[in-house]
Amino acid sequence: MNVESFNLDHRTVAAPYVRLADTKRLPHGDVISKYDVRFAQPNVGHLEMATVHSLEHLFAEHSRNHSDRVIDFSPMGCQTGFYLILEGEWELDDVLGLVGSTLEDVLAADAVPAANEVQCGWGANHTLEGAQEAARGFLARRDEWSQVVAE
């Protein structure tokens, strides 16, 4: 199939994890890397939509404090994780550091950025508490982030 994640056997992965999902070399030589940042076990659990939405806002805002190479942080429709798109090729440890530092920022946040009708298409659909709970759970299992497939 054309979509990389459609070729991933979701029954064999063990969330939480961070994995390189794709690298693209663009026509003029630029490289983008897409990482699968999986919070919930596929087909077993998921994040509530308000939590997804708030994590998206928080991560998008705070990750850029740690790197100017963040292109996007997009939620998966299945509500189990996000795609982190970065400029260039990265060492996994550097990505894990970026994710960890950003999630620590989520824990320290006192509000969800741009959670209002002016800056967001569904400003009322946010939960700082839900985003922080998800971040706390992900951070608590940091030693598992590079283990994608269940043993």
Name the H helices within 2-127: 49-63, 92-108
Domain 4-144: assigned CATH number: 3.30.1360.80
Amino acid at 81: G
Q: CA-CA distance, 70 to 85, in Å (whole number)? A: 6
Q: Which residues of 33-56 are buried (b: 16+ CB within 10 A; e: fewer)?
A: bbbbbbbbbbeeebbeebbbbbbb
- Tens of pLDDT along 87-105? 999 999 999 999 999 999 9
- Tens of pLDDT along 34-49? 999 999 999 999 999 9
Measure the CA angle with vertex 137, ends 82 and 63; round to 5°: 45
Amino acid at 9: D
Q: Going by C-beta distance under 8 Å and a sequence separation of 6 or more, which residues neighbour residue 133?
A: 51
- Tens of pLDDT along 108-145? 999 999 999 999 999 999 999 999 999 999 999 999 99
Mean pLDDT, residues 58-71: 98
